[in-house]
Amino acid sequence: MKKETTDRIIFFDTTLRDGEQSPGAALTSNAKLTIARQLAKMNVDIIEAGFPIASEDDAYAVKLIGREVRGPVICALARCVTRDIEAALKSLESAKRPRLHLFLATSEIHRKFKLSKAKDEIIKIAREMVCFAKKYIDDIEFSPEDATRTEPDFLLQVCKTVVEEGAKTLNIPDTVGYAVCEEYGALIRFLRENIPDNIVISVHCHNDLGLAVANSLVAIKNGARQVECTINGIGERAGNASLEEIAMNLIVRKKYYNVSVNLETRQIYRTSKLVSSLTGIPVQPNKAIVGDNAFRHEAGIHQDGIIKYKETYEIMRPQMVGIPESTLVLGKHSGRHALNLRLNSLGISVDEKTLDRIFQQFKNLADKKKEINDLDLIVLAEQETMPSFEPVYVLEYFHILSGTSTVPSATVRISKKGEIFEDASLGDGPVDALYKAIDRIVKLSPKLQEYKITAVTGGKDAQGEVVVSLVINGMTVAGKGVSTDIIEASARAYLNAVNQFLARKSVIKKRKYRGT
Ligand code: KIV
Ligand code: ZN
C-alpha cells in the first residue's frame, strides 16, 4: 500500500449542510453562524456551510459564515451544473479559504433512474464541470454520489478523470448507508492504491444500517484521511457519522488507528448541546460520548469500582469531551465573580453585558432552586448566548386551570412591542389550552408537529426543557423553552418558535428586497 502524505485526520463537518437535511431541523442563518463559530472553536478543519442553489437562505448562510468565520476552510456544495457552481462560488466570495464540493451520481441505479445518463456521459459531465470550476477556484472536492453502489472500475475511472482536471479531494460517499465495513474498507484501499498520493481520500457515511461510524473508522484504517461527519450524527434519514464518536475512537484507541486528531475535544459537549438546542433535535440519553448517560454509572459494582479506580469502568474521562465533573457549585448567595469563574472553567467566556444577563437569570433560578449545578449553568449560558433576534412576542403572564373534574383552560398575556394582549381558551389539556390562547393572540394557525419534554438538570427542582416543532404557512420552525415549571417552558417554547418564524420571514423578505 502507498504511504500516506499525512497521518492527521482532516475533520470535515457537514452539520450545517447534510445535518440540516434532518427531518424537522430548520436553522436560521444566525443560528448557522453561531454553530459555525462553535465548530471553529472546536478546531474542525472544514465547515460545509450549505448548498447555495437550494435556497436563498442557504446561499446567505454560506456568505455570512464565509465572511465572519476564520480558521476552518469554508465549503459550499454544488451539483455538476454551471448555475449551481456559480451560486456556490458567489456565496464563497468573502471566504478566506473557500472550497467547492461538487457531486454527481455514478451508480447504475442513479444513472438509469435519476439521471438517464450512460457511463460516458457521466465522465464527460464530471470532466467538464471540474474543468469549468477550476478556472475560478483551486480547492475542489469531488463526490461520486452513491459511490458504494457504483462498479469499482467505473468509480476509479470517474475519480481519475476529476483528478486530471484538478480535484484535490475525492470523497467516497456511502450515500444510502448500504456499505458493510469490510467491503467499504476494501473499496477505500483499492482507490488509495490507484490514486496519486497527493490526493486526499475522504469518506462520508450514512447511518441507515447503524454502521456510519464503523465504516468511517474502517476507511481510515485503509487510507482515508478526511472524514465527513456531523455533530450528534444528525442528517438525512438515519443521519450521518457522528463527529464526536469518530474523534474519540481515534483518540482513545490511538495506538490501533495510529493517526492524529487536531480537535479541541473539550468543546465537544458544548457543541453537541448547542446543535441540539438550535435544531430542536434531542440527543438520545444512551448516545455514545454526549448522551446524558454516557458517563453515568448506575450499577453498585460499577460505582464501587469507579470510586476505587476510575479506569475500572471508564475508558475516557468526561472532562476530555467537556462534560463538567463537579455537580454542586453555586447557590443563592454566590456572586457574579464566582459565576464568571465557574463559567470560564466550563469553557464559556462571555462579555460583561452577557454576564449581567446570565447573572440575572442565575439569581432568578436560585430563588426557585437550592443548588445550581454545572448543567444548569450551561443551560442558562446557552439561552443567553443563542443567536439573538428581537422577539416580536414576549410572554408576560399565564394562568392555568386544570384537574380531573374541570375542563382545562388557560389565560395568557403577551406583549408585542410594549402593547399588551390577553386572551383565553379551553383545551384538551393545559398545554393545549395554552397554545390555543396564544394562537388567538398571534393570529397564526401553527400545526404542532412535535412536542418533547426533558428534564435538563437533576433533582425534583430540575429545569424542564420543552422543544416544539411547528409548521406555520408551510415553514417548519423549532422553538425551545426552559423553566422549572413545565407549563411555562411549554409556553416559552411555543412563543419562541412563533418568533423564529417571524424572524425568518422578515429575513427572507429583506433579502428579496436587497436582491442578495
Ligand atoms: O450522501 C451523499 O452522497 C452526499 C453527497 C452530496 C456527498 O451528501
Ligand atoms: Zn450525505
Per-residue confidence (pLDDT) for residue 514, from 0 to 100: 39
Per-residue confidence (pLDDT) for residue 509, from 0 to 100: 53
What distance in Å separates the CA atoms of residue 510 and residue 324, rounded to the nearest whole number?
Answer: 42
Distance 149 CA to ligand 2 centre (A): 14
The reply to whether domains 10-279 and 393-514 share a CATH topology is: no
Distance 140 CA to ligand 2 centre (A): 17
Q: Which CATH number fits domain 10-279: 3.20.20.70, 3.40.50.2300, 3.40.50.10540, 3.30.479.30?
A: 3.20.20.70
393-514: CATH topology is Double Stranded RNA Binding Domain (3.30.160)
Q: Under a CB-based contact definition with an 8 Å cutoff, are residues 191 and 155 in contact? A: yes
On the question of pLDDT at 312 being above 60, the answer is yes
Ligand 1 pocket test: pick from 103, 155, 215, 234 the residue with the most ligand atoms within 8 Å of its Cβ: 103
Per-residue confidence (pLDDT) for residue 74, from 0 to 100: 98
298 pLDDT band (50/70/90 cuts)? Answer: low
Distance 38 CA to ligand 2 centre (A): 22
Distance 18 CA to ligand 2 centre (A): 6
Atom 8 in ligand 1: residue holding the nearest Cα = 18
Atom 6 in ligand 1: residue holding the nearest Cα = 103
Q: Under a CB-based contact definition with an 8 Å cutoff, are residues 36 and 16 in contact? A: yes
Which residues contact ligand 1 via a Cβ below 6 A?
A: 18, 77, 103, 143, 145, 171, 173, 175, 204, 206
Query: Burial letters for 155-167: b for 16+ Cβ neighbours within 10 Å, e otherwise?
Result: bbbbbbbbbebbb
Place of cell 432568578: 364
Ligand 1 pocket test: pick from 12, 158, 172, 204 the residue with the most ligand atoms within 8 Å of its Cβ: 204
Q: Which atom of ligand 1 is nearest to the CA of 147?
A: 3
Q: Report the phi/psi class of residue 139: left, alpha or beta, with left for phi > 0 and alpha for psi in -120 to 50.
A: beta
DSSP string, 297-322: --SHHHHHHHHH-GGGT-SS-GGGGT
Tell which residue, 284, 174, 279, has the closest CA to residue 224: 174
513 pLDDT band (50/70/90 cuts)? Answer: very low
On the question of pLDDT at 512 being above 80, the answer is no
Beta pairing, strands 98-105 & 140-145: parallel
Q: Report the phi/psi class of residue 258: left, alpha or beta, with left for phi > 0 and alpha for psi in -120 to 50.
A: left
> How remote is the C-alpha of 212 from its chain's centroid?
16
Ligand 1 pocket test: pick from 18, 21, 172 the residue with the most ligand atoms within 8 Å of its Cβ: 18
Tell which residue, 50, 126, 140, has the closest CA to residue 87: 50
User: Quick check: helix, strand or coil at residue 472?
Assistant: strand
Q: Which of 149-158, 341-350, 368-377 has the lowest mean pLDDT?
A: 368-377
Atom 1 in ligand 1: residue holding the nearest Cα = 175
Alpha helices by DSSP H, 102-180: 108-110, 119-134, 152-164
The residue-averaged pLDDT of 236-247 equals 97
The residue-averaged pLDDT of 252-277 equals 94
Q: Under a CB-based contact definition with an 8 Å cutoff, are residues 409 and 426 in contact? A: yes
User: Quick check: helix, strand or coil at residue 289?
Assistant: coil
What distance in Å separates the CA atoms of residue 212 and residue 219, rounded to the nearest whole number?
Answer: 11
**Helix-then-strand count for the chain, H and E:** 17, 16
Domain residues of the chain, as ranges? Answer: 10-279, 296-385, 393-514
Per-residue confidence (pLDDT) for residue 325, from 0 to 100: 64
Task: Tell the burial category of 285 from Cβ atoms under 10 Å away from its Cβ (0-12, 13-18, 19+).
Answer: exposed
Which ligand sits closest to the CA of 84?
A: 1
On the question of pLDDT at 463 being above 50, the answer is yes
Distance 449 CA to ligand 1 centre (A): 27
User: Quick check: helix, strand or coil at residue 389?
Assistant: coil
Q: Which atom of ligand 1 is nearest to the CA of 240?
A: 1
Alpha helices by DSSP H, 28-174: 29-41, 56-68, 82-91, 108-110, 119-134, 152-164
On the question of pLDDT at 439 being above 80, the answer is yes
Q: Kindly report the backbone phi and psi dihedral angles of residue 35, in degrees, each rounded to the nearest multiple of 5, phi listed first.
A: -65, -40
Q: Which atom of ligand 1 is nearest to the CA of 176?
A: 1
Higher model confidence: residue 315 or residue 105? 105
468 pLDDT band (50/70/90 cuts)? Answer: confident
Q: Under a CB-based contact definition with an 8 Å cutoff, are residues 428 and 408 in contact? A: yes
